[in-house]
Amino acid sequence: MLAKRIIPCLDVKEGEVVKGVHFKNLRYAGKPQELAKLYDKQGADEIVYLDISASPQGRKTLLEVVEATAEEVFIPLTVGGGISEESDIRRVLKAGADKVAINTAAVKNPDIIRAGSKRFGAQCIVSAIDAKRVYEDREDRITVETPQGKCWFDVYIYGGRVSTGMDAVAWAKRVEELGAGEILLTSMDADGTKMGFDIPLTRKISEETRVPIIASGGAGKLKHIYEALTKGKADAALAASIFHYKEYTVGDIKKYLREKGVEVRI
Amino acid sequence: MRPRIGIIDYGVGNLRSVQKGLSLKGAQPVITAEEEALRECDAFVLPGVGAFGDAMERLKPLKGLLLDSLDEKPVLGICLGMQLFFDESEEDGLHQGLGVMKGRVIRLPASVKVPQMGWNRVEIKKKSRLMEGIKSGEYFYFVHSYYAVPTEDVTVATTHYGTEIAAVVEKGNAMATQFHPEKSGAPGLRILENFVSMAKKG
């Protein structure tokens, strides 16, 4: 049976690791390739780098970081952020990444998913979706019952700064049709809170699509990850701060999950 | 002596990881599609990216060289590279493969999420050079939507994903993994190491 995956995520700015709380107030937390090596040793199943550099120089630095990582880390590496055309995908893969995560560019031009998938294979095209709850009962939106009330999920772009008004569940189905091989689903409401993943969101998108789902945003306790992989039906859980600040190791999480009967690679 | 291993560059994707892995295990890897450069090599890696039909098309100029080499040089297929060893594939219509191994490549069953993406256990079915020193039940990293169904006895290890799947095959100098050894941590590097030692002997 396929093991559930634990994926540390490193937000990288100008070649350095940072983690935003609610996508704001960035704090420094170490060198990306050093952390990637550490997580690999701890038993991480994959590594994600999200590039939040604003400058072309920062992007170039990221490619160097990817190259340095590929020298020493032999588990899959996904790179997201700043991917806007096919040539960006090619550059990142050539530097040593296995997958690219695409968010804003896909919303603005969905064809990048289709073209990227055809050219490089569906397995390396990850659709990153940032979703935020809107507590409205609308007929033209896919709604979900939550403990806080009925809501639909709005897709955000530009690192969580811009609302698109697009339905996240419908968008997830669309990117699957276009050829995305995986969905990296981040809850804007939960991200940075350490209060747990948005389970209704994760579950809905897992049930409505046939590609693997990586749940992201809100991991603070071991049980949050367990819930995302069971109640949320996610295939993988992604987290950042709980690893960077050494609250838990990847090994701690996997041991806990295995005791609870979840198949993980140890 | 560091054996020269030609990583056949017939398209796109991440070839750096397999290059670094082979280099770490004592080989001198070269990424190339030049026939002249490949003739100098002691062994080959047929990596796995993209679609079957496209890959066969791009591989056409090197097909003769590859098939001739199999008489004396080890060739390691990875992922799609493994599938290319077989007679034919159903990916996007029917396409002819290299025909080194008998069997057909078909889509993963509808009962599971496709692609299979992640770490799965590999059960060793019989002794092989490629899997030497690796314990049965070890996890390896898979990313694929199609899988090979051999009709001859080439399977040395399997995994389970909706159905039983050939994970490692060997037939003379042709050997292959459906998973990515270059992305499977320490056990994956051990496979590359085993391959490098075969390249040395070759």
Ranges of residues in chain B with a pLDDT under 50 are none
| Number of domains chain A is built from | 1
Give pLDDT, residue A21. 41
Confirm whether A266 is domain-assigned.
no
For the stretch A65-75, pLDDT in tens is 999 999 999 99
Q: Is A11 a catalytic residue?
A: yes
Instruction: Tell me the CA distances in angstroms from B151 to B56, B105, B113, B127, one per residue in order.
Output: 21, 11, 25, 19
- Per the model's pLDDT, the better-predicted residue between A26 and A192 turns out to be A192
Confirm whether A78 is domain-assigned.
yes
Look at residue A55 and tell me whether its pLDDT is greater than 90.
Answer: no
Confirm whether A53 is domain-assigned.
yes
Instruction: Give pTM, 2 decimals.
Output: 0.93
Confirm whether A105 is domain-assigned.
yes
Look at residue A27 and tell me whether its pLDDT is greater than 70.
Answer: no
Give pLDDT, residue B10. 79
Give pLDDT, residue B187. 97
**Closest C-alpha among A174, A186, A166 to residue A234:** A186
Confirm whether A207 is domain-assigned.
yes
Residue of B nearest to A78 (CA): B14
Give pLDDT, residue B12. 63
For the stretch A88-98, pLDDT in tens is 999 999 899 99
Domain encompassing residue B172: 4-201
Residue A20 binned pLDDT confidence (cut-offs 50, 70, 90): very low
For the stretch B12-63, pLDDT in tens is 677 889 999 999 999 999 999 999 999 999 999 999 777 888 889 989 999 9
Domain encompassing residue A26: 5-259
For the stretch A109-135, pLDDT in tens is 999 999 999 888 888 999 999 999 999
B38/A9 Cα distance (integer angstroms): 39
Catalytic choice (A40, A51, A130, A191): A130
- The DSSP secondary structure of A127-164, one letter per residue, reads EEEEEEEE----TTS--EEETTEEEEEEEEETTTTEEE
Give pLDDT, residue A118. 85
ipTM of the complex: 0.90
Phi, psi of A87 (to 5 degrees): -65, -30
Query: What mean pLDDT is reported for chain A?
Result: 92
Residue A82 binned pLDDT confidence (cut-offs 50, 70, 90): confident
For the stretch A143-201, pLDDT in tens is 999 999 999 999 999 989 999 999 999 999 999 999 999 999 999 999 989 999 999 99
Q: How far is B164 from chain A (nearest CA, A)?
A: 11
| Number of domains chain B is built from | 1
Residues 24-43, chain A, touching B (beta carbon < 8 A): 40
Share of chain A above pLDDT 70, in %: 95
CB burial of A109-127 (b: ≥16 within 10 Å; e: otherwise) equals: ebebbbbbbebbbbbbbbb
| Residue A10, domain CATH | 3.20.20.70
Decide if A258 touches B, using CB distance below 8 A: no
- Per the model's pLDDT, the better-predicted residue between A27 and A79 turns out to be A79
Confirm whether A83 is domain-assigned.
yes
Tell me if residue B128 falls in helix, strand or coil: coil
B100/B63 Cα distance (integer angstroms): 11
- Please judge whether A74 and B50 are an interchain contact, meaning their C-beta atoms are less than 8 angstroms apart: no
| Residue B146, domain CATH | 3.40.50.880
Residues 29-88, chain B, touching A (beta carbon < 8 A): 49-51
Q: Is B180 a catalytic residue?
A: yes
Half-sphere exposure of A37 (CA within 13 A, CB side): 11
Give pLDDT, residue A23. 40
Range A216-224 average pLDDT = 95
